[in-house]
Structure 1
Amino acid sequence: MKFPKVPMRRISALTGSALALSVALVAGVAPAAHAAVSYTPVAEIETGGGGNSSMAVDSSRGLLYSADYLQEKVTIIDANSNEVVGSFSTDSPQGIAVDEARNIIWVANTNAGTVTAHDGDTYAPLVAIPVVGAFDLAYDTSSDRVFVTSLFSDDNLTVIDAESFVPLAPVGLGVWPEALATDPVRGELYVTNRGDSTLSVVDSTALSILHTVALPAAPTGVAVDTAQGKVFVPLADGTIAVIDSATGGITGSISAPGALRGAVVDSAAGRLFVTSTDSALRVWDTVTNDFVQDVAVFPTWKIALNPANGDVFASGVTDPVHRVSLLTLPEIVSDAPADAIINESYSHTIETTGSPVITVTVTSGALPDGLALDPATGALTGTPTAEGSFSFTVTATNPAGSVSATYTLNILVPPSVTSGDPAGTVVGVEYEHAITVVGTGPFEFEVSDGALPDGLALDPTTGIISGTAGEPGTATFTVTITGPGGATSVTYDLVVSAAPVEPGPGPGPGPGPGTGAGETPANGGDGLAQTGGDVPLVAVAAGAAAIGAGLLALVAARRRRSTVE
């Protein structure tokens, strides 16, 4: 069944000692790396309860489960938004663990003397297994088993098969077994025995005891660093025993004055967290065992780690639940956005680093029309609709501070040819044709295929074809125009015609009457009298015809005389 959403009473966004920083960057220049600020309380979550007994995180679903012994319920919290999203009832829950693969929540119910498994979607109980005084429990991924300690019960560790829900044979431990921690890498389980100040190391598959470690004081919690091969056990005397997980031997001791309680390790970050009922949440380096810092949340008793982001949740017996994050200043690590093409789909991601979650927003200027920025992912997407240069500032922000970068994003228009085909030309005649283009310039022109007619050339900057063709023929060639917004090509046929042939001069007229050979007419002309204006061609032809007729008549008369003679 579904349970109603429980409203959240109070969520306080805290900044603690976080440093606010805003750095303006030149577009395309990455900022300098920033060091972590500190582990800092970032939220206080009210569960509406008064007996917080244990917590567990489902990192794959981003949920925190908080068991409340007095209110007899388990509160469900969104581990990212800090919002209480629901709850389910169960009898006196003390311990809690999550089988993420099956989405099952396991709960140890002390007064009821049961261990219950709940469906992670409906929270309905799937099974109730009798376990007298069930106190704490842990789910081990390597053996696929649930291990349960019993309150005030000697020599008894209950083992449950997580798939079949069938209890297996109990394992005899020390006196008053209490806290548990698993090492799925080594396949081992670590159980504190408060009654006789020992730590039992158990093979989680064979269920045999590998080591029993004698401790200098009563243990109050246990945590494992799988990366360093260390087990950390807070003790009632204000120290932390450091144990080699391979040998079971104590290799060191950390001084930690105060009433120490629970512990968790973030192996990825190399940090140990220990709660205390009379001091702050304390942090150590698991590699060097050196103290790192106190986090100003107290008193704290129960603790849980979200391995997905390194957040720690700590609470006292009563509200609130404190969320503690390792705050690192945001850093913008991506290059400046590349130029965009008008009316074409565009995508660029403003990548950031830092913790916890970062939001990216436009804090100055404006994005190009048609583009939008996703504040959660930093994705700049859309289809730009207007040409131009757009300057804007983006700011990446988290509780540690902020960092900014200013960019200029150019929206470009590809080149497009507006001039017509080049006209033909004639051999020996000076020629010029301009290829005109619109779009975002400057442009470069080149003949990318074929060749211009001999004697003509293309200016690569202006797009003008000019020169004097030397040979007739048809030249086919392609011109490619390239600009910031892309390239386009156009193919032309340019015809070169031969030069026209001019007619040569005809024979001149003979010397005029009264002009001897070699003499020049007195008027400097052609031997004919010039009476003003040119002699009409018809008159010349008529005169020639008359002279011809006279000559024919003279010849005929002579022939006749000859005949007569």
Structure 2
Amino acid sequence: MTLSRLAATLSIAALSAPSLALAATVFIPEGSANSILMVDTETAETLGRLPGLEAIHGLAGAPGAKYLVAGSFAEIDRAEAAASAKPEGMSQDDHEAHHAKRDTSAMPADKGLSLVTVLDAETRQVVQRIEVPGAVHHTAVSPDGRFAVATHPAGDGISIIDLETLGFRGFVPTGPMPNYAVFAPDGGKVYVTNTGNGTLSEVDVAKGYVTRNMPVGEGPEHLVLNAAGSAAFVADSDGGKAYRVDLASGGVTDTYDIGGELHGLGLSDREGVLFVAAKGTDRLVSIDLATGKQREASLSPAPYHLTTIPESGKLMVSSRAEPKVWIVDQASLTASGEIAIQGEGHQMVVLP
């Protein structure tokens, strides 16, 4: 048996290994339905819905982190922000004392205004609403739960949020149309795709500036890092390609030609397989990273956001065209079930 065939065999075997999944919850932002749906990843049963969250596209958390961070794609006027309702169960005095005080010197005056909602990851209660400069597409939370970021495609930068003080920390220009953000494992850096100029920005979070920009594709969007933080995998949406970027050198080391419009990405538990939602061609594609070999299955219509369910052998993939999320077997790429949702399924988060 050749080494390449052995690697491919081992990758499939790893995907087919017995499930060691523990109970977890997937949080599904429902976009225009103004809510977040909670689903048990093992049983696919609905656990509840968090209402009153307007146009939630971005949602992020981290295992063990205290908060979930939800970003709204809707912009508001400043009078509306000042009159925003206090979280349920909080006294008016506490609301006024804890309402996020933005740094007016750091908040860009020429941007729009939107809200990031911070929720307690355990109780699911809203604990803070924070003003940020413009509509939020995606969010990210650092592995240590210290910081969050929100991308602003119309504002050409990201907001940094301090999750210890629950306040706006600053705005960092990254490039035209920043789309997706993922933290490095140590939480000190965050990587941001800039769709408008084909770059991947590395941002020093504590200092609040871009340390370097790395060219990658034509219009990079979704992004995933390996566990070591040594490589980033990037979906070039309109270019129909995915790329592996070596984060030490900043260079593209592998290119995967998939075709059609791409969207969500995910890595298998042992990181031997990259999954890609090929939205424009109604396919789910897996790529063996050792050999570059691709497999695909029809998934229609319009596979959109994608998240892997750790130690389960499953994926969850939303549809951009219909209100549902597929449960997909990683080894066979076949859908084993569907979850009915409201609105559209955006940036999903899985937490134990």
| TM-score relative to the length of structure 1 | 0.46
Describe the shift of the 1:304–1:58 C-alpha distance in structure 2 as closer, same or farther (beyond 3 A). Answer: same
Describe the shift of the 1:228–1:290 C-alpha distance in structure 2 as closer, same or farther (beyond 3 A). Answer: farther
Pair member with larger Rg: 1
Alignment of 1:14-53 (within 5 A): 38-49=43-54, 51-53=55-57
Match of 1:74 among 100, 107, 116: 116
Unaligned runs of 5+ in 1: 1-9, 19-35, 310-565
Give the C-alpha shift of residue 144 in structure 1: 4.4
Q: Which has the higher contact order (CA 8 A, sep 6+)?
A: 2
Report the RMSD for the aligned CA atoms in angstroms: 2.7
Residues 268-316 of structure 1: per-residue CA shift (max 9 Å, x gap): 2221111113142111122443422111224433132233x1xxxxxxx
Residues 493-528 of structure 1: per-residue CA shift (max 9 Å, x gap): xxxxxxxxxxxxxxxxxxxxxxxxxxxxxxxxxxxx
Match of 1:282 among 308, 321, 326: 326
Give the C-alpha shift of residue 207 in structure 1: 1.6
Give the whole-Å Cα distance in 2 for the aligned partners of 1:12 and 1:95.
15
Instruction: Note if 1:244 corresponds to 2:288.
Output: yes
- Aligned residue for 1:202? 245
Q: Aligned to 1:60, what secondary structure does the other structure show?
A: coil
Contact 1:43 1:82 in 2 (8 A): no
Give the whole-Å Cα distance in 1 for the aligned partners of 2:319 and 2:288.
24
Instruction: Note if 1:183 corresponds to 2:231.
Output: no
Give the C-alpha shift of residue 252 in structure 1: 0.8
Alignment of 1:245-324 (within 5 A): 245-247=289-291, 249-277=292-320, 278-307=322-351, 309=352
What percent of counterpart residues are identical?
Answer: 16
Residues 257-277 of structure 1: per-residue CA shift (max 9 Å, x gap): 112211111222221111113
Contact 2:318 2:326 in 1 (8 A): yes
Give the whole-Å Cα distance in 2 for the aligned partners of 1:142 and 1:227.
19
Describe the shift of the 1:38–1:64 C-alpha distance in structure 2 as closer, same or farther (beyond 3 A). Answer: same
Describe the shift of the 1:289–1:142 C-alpha distance in structure 2 as closer, same or farther (beyond 3 A). Answer: farther
Instruction: Note if 1:58 corresponds to 2:58.
Output: no
Contact 2:276 2:286 in 1 (8 A): yes
Match of 2:262 among 201, 204, 219: 219
Give the C-alpha shift of residue 79 in structure 1: 3.2
Give the whole-Å Cα distance in 2 for the aligned partners of 1:48 and 1:12.
8
Give the whole-Å Cα distance in 1 for the aligned partners of 2:37 and 2:211.
46
Unaligned runs of 5+ in 2: 1-33, 76-113
Describe the shift of the 1:271–1:252 C-alpha distance in structure 2 as closer, same or farther (beyond 3 A). Answer: same
Contact 1:192 1:222 in 2 (8 A): yes
- Aligned residue for 1:148? 192
Contact 1:41 1:296 in 2 (8 A): no
- Aligned residue for 1:329? none
Give the whole-Å Cα distance in 1 for the aligned partners of 2:42 and 2:197.
45
Give the whole-Å Cα distance in 2 for the aligned partners of 1:201 and 1:84.
37
Give the C-alpha shift of residue 196 in structure 1: 1.1
- Aligned residue for 1:105? 148
Give the C-alpha shift of residue 37 in structure 1: 6.9
Contact 2:264 2:305 in 1 (8 A): yes
The range that moved more, 162-171 or 61-70, is 162-171
Give the whole-Å Cα distance in 2 for the aligned partners of 1:228 and 1:45.
32
Alignment of 1:355-434 (within 5 A): none
